[in-house]
Structure 1
Amino acid sequence: MGASMALRAFRYWLLRYRRTWRGTVVISVANPLLFLIAIGAGLGQVVAPDTDALGGVSYLAFFAPGMLAAASMQNGLVESAFPVSFSSRPGGTYPVAAATPLEPSDLLHGHAIFMAIRVTMSAAAFLAVMVALGAAQSTLVLLALPAATLTAMAFALPAAAWAVTLSDVEPVGRVFKWVVMPLYLFSGTFFAVTQLPEVLRPIVYVTPLWHGVDLCRSLSLGTATWAGSLGHVAYLTAMVAVGYLLARRNYRRHLHA
């Protein structure tokens, strides 16, 4: 019964997306791809590939998998924080649905399935362009797709747990300003963490995005190790699990009819 009800909630988001998908293309697909082409294939042509920081690969090969993870983080937040905060307001989708036989957990599960599908679609489009541009150095790059999805959900579920408690969408904008942008700049996406001052590196190493960036990059370059990859996956999976548990609690508290 629970799975059936969650699928009903998922179908709502799917039907809604069929009417609104054009508006999501720019921010979820076009923007990251423009970054990849302009910075990776453009600016990257003037960056020497033999620097120690790049590990002897081209800047495009270094930058592209990092951007894949960073774009997935952004898409995870876009697909969770904004829709959940809008839906949670009085008269929004969540309170209306909660007055039906749907339980708060059904709303969470259905929406989370949709989030996972959306971020995977965007990551797949990015990965296809990345491979077409010759940025991938290993067939292990195919595993970067589930890695990117895991990175996205490590942000999406905690964001949903927080957003469902909001009465106004304005705080979500501040998260993009004060959380997303600093993570973009200082989690190894554009340059190696080793180029940062030593005092800042431990802070970077505990951020979720760095784990996603390093995992996707090592898979794309073929430098992944079992220990390193499992460590990244364990960290990101823990983020997903904590976010899910918090979301279940907060959905129940704020949406129970």
Structure 2
Amino acid sequence: MDTLARAFSAPAFRELGYWLFRYRRTWRGSIVISVGNPLLFLTALGLGLGKLVDHGNSAYLQGHSYLTFILPGILIAGVMQTAFLEASGPVMQGALPRGSYRAAASTPLEPAGILYGHLMYWTLRAAQNAVLFTCVSMLFGTVDPARAPLLVLVAILVAVAFASPAAAWAVTVTRPSQINAMFRFVVLPLYMFSGTFFPIEQLPDWLRRLAWLTPLWHGVDLGRTVALGTATTSGVLVHLAYLAVMVAAGLYVARRTYRRRLYV
């Protein structure tokens, strides 16, 4: 309860206000990138390649069209990618000697308030992207309006599950090349091999077992089963537990790395 109270304390909302003020100047470009890119994937793969896949009547799709199959995966993977980018580069910049984190830490704001305020901003950004993408997807007729709110909630949970550990790590980083390497060698492979574009059952056995351990697969599978109405109680509980542990562990480490870095 103490952690929850600190997360929604007045200092945290002051930090949130700072990031929202900055976002007023960049929201147009960020929406184009965060929503436009996934929609391009959706159009090219779902409406283009999807026709060829649907013509083959793949048993892996379990009677669903390819567009309906990949839509939740693209949403979840897109939110994951945005969460990483928002919680890595800005955090690293903020923790530099002349960064915004340093300025905030010189006031009565504590590192925990800075972390939680920025986390609320990431959550709002994820919610914005998820709602916009899901609304457009409903126009395609690929998401049941009754299940759309659940898909949005899954996307927000995945965003927080990735943003928390990303921030815990990024606050210790001093070079952009480290973030670029993490994006290139970790985030992009997750994007490609966690069931976003094709069922992981088509992967070799050893790679499939590896995919089961990745956090993005849990998010994609949870979002997909919720969107398609094929979710099971046991499956949902396993996915939620995995992502919840990731959030808790990320925040636990982040509180310590933020304090260690900002009070140097």
What TM-score do you get using the length of structure 2 for normalisation? 0.94
1:41 positional shift = 2.0
- CA deviations 1:35-72 (Å, max 9, x no partner) are 11221122212212631111111000101011111011
The answer to whether residue 29 in structure 2 is matched with residue 59 in structure 1 is: no
CA distance in 1, matches of 2:12, 2:180: 29
Q: Is the 8 A contact 1:124 1:145 kept in 2?
A: yes
CA distance in 2, matches of 1:138, 1:21: 26
Letter in 1 for 2:205: E
CA distance in 2, matches of 1:183, 1:138: 28
Local SS of the residue matching 1:189: coil
CA distance in 2, matches of 1:200, 1:167: 33
Q: Is the 8 A contact 1:138 1:221 kept in 2?
A: no
The answer to whether residue 241 in structure 2 is matched with residue 250 in structure 1 is: no
1:204 matched residue in structure 2: 211
1:141 positional shift = 3.4
2:32 matched residue in structure 1: 26
CA distance in 1, matches of 2:228, 2:144: 5
* 1:95-110 aligned within 5 A: 95-110=102-117
1:39 matched residue in structure 2: 45
1:27 positional shift = 2.2
2:123 matched residue in structure 1: 116
Local SS of the residue matching 2:44: helix
Q: Is the 8 A contact 1:103 1:256 kept in 2?
A: no
CA distance in 1, matches of 2:90, 2:143: 33
Work out which of the residue numbers 175, 183, 192 in structure 2 matches 1:176.
183
CA distance in 1, matches of 2:217, 2:69: 14
Identity of aligned residues (%): 49
Structure 1 residue ranges (4+ consecutive) displaced by more than 4 angstroms after TM superposition: none
Q: Is the 8 A contact 2:71 2:142 kept in 1?
A: yes
Q: Which runs of 5+ in 1 are unaligned?
A: none
Q: Is the 8 A contact 2:138 2:145 kept in 1?
A: no
1:189 matched residue in structure 2: 196
CA distance in 2, matches of 1:55, 1:175: 35
CA distance in 2, matches of 1:110, 1:71: 22
Local SS of the residue matching 1:200: helix
1:15 matched residue in structure 2: 21
RMSD, matched Cα: 1.4
CA distance in 2, matches of 1:213, 1:42: 22
1:26 positional shift = 2.8
Letter in 2 for 1:132: L
Local SS of the residue matching 2:231: coil
2:153 matched residue in structure 1: 146
Q: Is the 8 A contact 1:10 1:111 kept in 2?
A: yes
1:214 matched residue in structure 2: 221
1:22 positional shift = 2.4
CA distance in 2, matches of 1:45, 1:25: 28
CA distance in 2, matches of 1:103, 1:37: 45
Comparing 205-214 with 16-25, greater Cα deviation is found at 16-25
Letter in 2 for 1:229: V
CA distance in 1, matches of 2:142, 2:73: 11
Work out which of the residue numbers 231, 240, 243 in structure 1 matches 2:238.
231
1:152 positional shift = 1.1
Letter in 2 for 1:102: L
1:76 matched residue in structure 2: 83
What TM-score do you get using the length of structure 1 for normalisation? 0.96
Local SS of the residue matching 1:91: coil
1:138 positional shift = 7.3
